[in-house]
Amino acid sequence: MSASIIDGKQLGAEIEEGLKSSVSKMTASSRAPHLVVVIVGKDPASFVYVRNKEKACKRIGIRSTRYDLPEDSNHDDLISLVRKLNDDPEVDGILIQSPLPSDFDEIGITEMIRPDKDVDGFHPVNLGRIVTGRTDGMLPCTPSGIMKMLEWTGESLKGKKALVIGRSRIVGMPAALLLAQRGIDATVTISHSKSEDLESLCRSSDILIAAVGKPDMVRKEWVKEGAIVIDVGINRVEVGGRIRLVGDVEEGASEYAKWITPVPGGVGPMTISMLMMNTVRAAEARMY
């Protein structure tokens, strides 16, 4: 079998097309949605991610503002900025780029963002809503992008065995909850660094979500024949003196899978499109 590709770039572009018309209506009747991104310090990968978010805003017509705080700024500086943005009626979405410098309490800062402006979907109110079965709010972007990609395949997930590898609050945990929600009805296993016999877990799974950040963590022959593979990893590895981006799943897994996401061009662009969708939704909720 050679897997069909779930093209996140293409699907993300289609979603953005849909958002453009909502944005132009909003802009004509009131004002453009407004996303504020805050970056602290000089993490080079963060600059790349933030630039990609700014480019997406531009494509769609979303206003974006960026605050660059110096590496040596303190917690109070960031807290007062978040308070100011929370209170600003012209700001719809607030995103604090992760990682913050190590002396910052990242989870504490996330909790200070107003839940209705939390376009990352990381606030406990937004994460908690998923547990109650409400999936119409600010969903975390990578998990909701994964669900859109699964939906796009047209495959039924009902009763299927889904394995989520990784239990982060940003990807693994919410992705597991979304897969198990009523109406989707997958049978979900969450595995992590202490899980025994990952190979057998993978071999018996119809849906594999790899979100650990370790290149080739999932060997290609572990993939069940006909499985759907969503590779969330974006790992920089050096091959022959050049840096390449690879996922968590070994290259060649498409010989076994029915559907697979590429790296790059899979989950990454979908995450950005979901951020744009959350920003538009946040703005609509404020304006209408």
The CB-of-30 to ligand GUN minimum distance in angstroms stands at 27
Closer by beta carbon to ligand GUN, 206 or else 231: 231
The residue among 97 and 205 lying less far from ligand GUN, judged by its C-beta, is 97
Residue number, 98 or 187, with CB nearest to ligand GUN: 98
Between CA 92 and CA 81 the distance in angstroms is 15
42 is catalytic: no
Residues found near ligand GUN in the complex (CB under 6 A):
49, 95-98, 120, 141, 271
Q: Which is nearer to ligand GUN, 49 or 259 (CB)?
A: 49
* Catalytic annotation, pick one of 97, 160, 206, 224: 97
CA neighbours closer than 13 Å in the CB half-sphere of residue 85: 29
Query: How, if at all, do strands 4-5 and 63-69 pair?
Result: unpaired
Contact 81, 97 (CB under 8 A): no
Q: Which residue number has the CB closest to ligand GUN?
A: 98
**Least gap, CB of 34 to ligand GUN (angstroms):** 17
Burial 95-125 (b: 16+ CB within 10 A, else e): bbbbebbeebeeeebbebbbbbbbbbbbbee
* β pairing state of 242-246 and 235-239: antiparallel
Q: Which is nearer to ligand GUN, 49 or 256 (CB)?
A: 49
65-to-38, 57, 121, 285 alpha-carbon distances in Å:
9, 10, 19, 20
53, 148, 160, 258: the active-site residue: 53
Q: Which is nearer to ligand GUN, 35 or 223 (CB)?
A: 35
CA distances from 285 to 92, 135, 138, 224 (A): 9, 15, 11, 43
158 is known as an active-site residue? no
Structure tokens at 166: 């990784």
Min dist CB 135 to ligand GUN, Å, is: 18
Q: Which of 7, 92, 118, 120 is catalytic?
A: 120
Provide the minimum distance between the beta carbon of 5 and ligand GUN in the complex, in angstroms, as a whole number: 23
C-alpha closest to that of 279 among 67, 15, 36, 35: 35
Q: Give least dist CB 49 to ligand GUN, A.
A: 5
Residue 255 beta carbon to ligand GUN: minimum distance, rounded to whole angstroms: 30
Do residues 39 and 46 make contact, with C-beta atoms less than 8 angstroms apart? yes
- Catalytic, 53? Answer yes
Can you tell me the distance from the alpha carbon of 172 to that of 224, in angstroms, rounded to the nearest whole number? 20
Residues contacting residue 258 through CB under 8 Å, at least 6 positions apart: 1, 3, 4, 155, 226, 227, 228
What are the residue numbers of the active site? 53, 97, 120
